[in-house]
Amino acid sequence: MKSDSFYITTPIYYVNDKPHIGHAYTTVLADVLARCQRLFGRDVWFLTGTDEHGQKVQEAAAKLGVEPQVHADHTVVRFQEAWKRLEIRNDDFIRTTEPRHKLVVQEMLQDLHDRGEIYRDEYDGWYCVPCERFFTEKDLADGSCPECGRPVQRVREANYFFKMSQYQDWLVEYIQTHPEFIQPDFRRNETLGFLRKPLQDLCISRPKSRLSWGIELPFDKDYVTYVWFDALVNYISAVGYRRDDAQFARRWPAVHLIGKDILTTHTVYWPCMLKAAGVAMPRTIFAHGWWLMGSAKMSKTAGNVVNPMDMMDRYGVDPFRYFLMAEMAMGQDASFTEDAFIRRYNADLANDLGNLLNRVVSMVGKYCAGRLPAPAPGAFAQGPAADLFAQALAAAAGLKTAVETYALHAGVAGVIDVVRATNRFIEVQQPWAQARAADPGPLHTTLYAAAEVLRVCAGLLMPLMPGKMTELRAALGMENPMTVNPEELSKSEVLKPGVQVAAPGALFPRIEAPAPAAETKPDAPSAEESRAGKPASAPGTLGNPEGIITYEDFAKVQLRTAKIMTAEPIENAVKLLKLTVLMGDERRQIVAGIALYYKPEDLLGKTVVVVSNLAPIKLRGVESQGMLLAASKGERLRLVTVDGDLSSGAVVK
């Protein structure tokens, strides 16, 4: 692959399917990788599409009383509309019923047939209609299809075969000498394991008497092409193979993104087909994992498939795209639950990224009349601002490496780490204190540096969340917020001092987890008992035991992290300390009965947990605007703190 060229493909999805979480993940992943490569200045081409031939399409059309092409024209729209809603920016969408594809398939078949790579023979074996595949006796699982588990039928017929077996030794050597060819590594080992058994020739046809909906063999009009020898060719027919040599030379070879369930067809069938045709191998075939519900793969049969459209309607397209990319380590399986989505959304987007934008814009509005201040001269050469910006540049380099090494989740995590570091930078620099100084330089540098790092982070996250990151960059006063110039990700002081900044509202409003469904209590009293005034339950027996609160009661309590900034004794109060805590941008005074357990100087800098929506009260004449959480046992008491670094003002759940 040329250094400035990046051609990426998804599988072409079977047109009879409805877009589900598996389709969405592969396509969003391809879109994000393509956008990242564009961000890094590469010449990118991104292809997706639909596989529209085969027995299932023919049968579905027959049931509807329409021609297969009419049925395909109707169902393909589901994918095209889904990709628009998911903000997929593909360069091409290929359908295997298009003439540009069919002609290339027929020319390729004719060439292979003329050179003796394809022959006719009698076949006797087991056939699975739903999978449209033949299996040998030893391949069957308890007499059923090894892929879908459904019954198979015995079929004896003449067909055409591709001499795939003669390429087995070559393919093993190629895989072993090209470690980048199949990724991740364990998928390469899986393919090599498959190739330890003798490779069979590949049946590439179906008689029209059994299946008429397909690309007709150019050398025998009584047969159509079997789906894999049709579908796989889309990767080269779409970029000019046998039609536009210049375009094909510019684009090919490709990076193929696939699900692990179609590993063999892409890492065994497809390379052998290309070798026979004299075409260079794909650069990389990357097989990602499955989304699981608990420990089970999502499947229509199990009835546990997540509809991506439902998730987008509920939470928005950008957060959905972000979750898919951040949650799954490329190549590994991942578990999809709504709870996991809400946790990551609130932690990464609402509490960290959205909160940072709100803090920066609010303080620029409060201290600088809403206009971005200029940093002090040399601030980005050395000092805290320079150190912070260096972290942003390291995150940019890390994302680029992560994209090249198929570890996107790690690159995204690095960007979010910089967001958290910027929140900590604000807490350390204390712009609210800097605002009281005669010299405005430190304040202006702090706010400008935080805005600059936000700009870089938004640029890096643009491939994942193009809509929201455009809003964020617009809030920082950027003239062209939708366009990220690759050079700006390696430069400081890009934002123009004096521009108006404006909050876009809550960029990522916090999501409250849905309350659990109310349980039906089998021991509920009868209507007669209730009318008679008989108690529904005695304390500690039926219903809620005495002292137990409901989820709704607990949900009223708001817990947030707070950093202790000052601590001092209260006159004539042996047990009480007066604390000043910082929750995000807000300072509060809290009176806590911890003087017997903590010295004031030992509390400074601790991040504690505070009940933030408690009505103010006065203790010994001193107002307390909240309450610290602590645990006690016997003569010991310890404050509740958080594990690891976490910015003040974070919501505790």
Distance separating alpha carbons of residues 377 and 455, to the nearest angstrom: 20
Q: What confidence score (pLDDT) does residue 298 get?
A: 54
SS3 label, residue 539: coil
Summarize pLDDT for 304-315 with one digit per residue, the tens.
566 667 878 888
Q: With pLDDT > 90 as the criterion, what percentage of the chain qualifies?
A: 63
Q: Which two tokens stand for residue 467?
A: 């809509």
Place of tokens 């509490």: 351
Model pTM score = 0.77
313 Cβ partners below 8 Å, 6+ apart?
Answer: none
244 Cβ partners below 8 Å, 6+ apart?
Answer: none
Q: What confidence score (pLDDT) does residue 550 get?
A: 64
Summarize pLDDT for 614-646 with one digit per residue, the tens.
888 888 778 888 899 988 766 678 898 877 666
Assess contact for 448 and 375: CB atoms under 8 A.
Answer: yes
- Please provide the average confidence, as pLDDT, over all residues in the chain: 88
Summarize pLDDT for 116-152 with one digit per residue, the tens.
999 999 988 888 877 777 787 888 888 899 878 889 9
Q: What confidence score (pLDDT) does residue 310 get?
A: 80
564 Cβ partners below 8 Å, 6+ apart?
Answer: 579, 580, 581, 603, 604, 605, 606, 607, 608
Distance separating alpha carbons of residues 247 and 238, to the nearest angstrom: 10
DSSP E strands: which ranges in 543-615?
Answer: 559-570, 573-583, 586-592, 607-611
Q: Mean pLDDT over residues 13-28, rounded?
A: 91
Distance separating alpha carbons of residues 265 and 230, to the nearest angstrom: 12
- Most confident region among 21-30, 274-283, 291-300, 583-592 by mean pLDDT: 274-283
Split at pLDDT 50, 70, 90, the class of 395 is very high
Summarize pLDDT for 482-491 with one digit per residue, the tens.
889 888 898 9
Q: Which two tokens stand for residue 649?
A: 């003002």
User: Which range (170-184, 335-349, 399-413, 419-433) has the least confidence?
Assistant: 335-349
Give the CA radius of gyration of the chain: 31
Quote the longest CA-to-CA distance of the chain: 103
pLDDT for 528 beyond 70:
no
Q: What confidence score (pLDDT) does residue 646 get?
A: 66
State the DSSP H helix or E strand holding residue 318, giving kind and residue range, or none if neither. Answer: helix 317-327
**How is residue 4 annotated by DSSP?**
T
Q: With pLDDT > 70 as the criterion, what percentage of the chain qualifies?
A: 89
Output phi, psi for 177, to 5 deg.
-95, 0
pLDDT for 436 beyond 50:
yes
- Most confident region among 221-225, 519-523, 555-559 by mean pLDDT: 221-225
Distance separating alpha carbons of residues 270 and 437, to the nearest angstrom: 69
pLDDT for 191 beyond 50:
yes
Domains detected in the chain: 337-490 (1.10.730.10), 554-652 (2.40.50.140)
Distance separating alpha carbons of residues 642 and 419, to the nearest angstrom: 19
Closest CA to 419 of 461, 375, 384, 475: 461
Angle between helices 441-461 and 466-475 (to 10 degrees): 160
Distance separating alpha carbons of residues 2 and 604, to the nearest angstrom: 56
SS3 label, residue 320: helix
| 503 vs 221: which has the higher pLDDT | 221
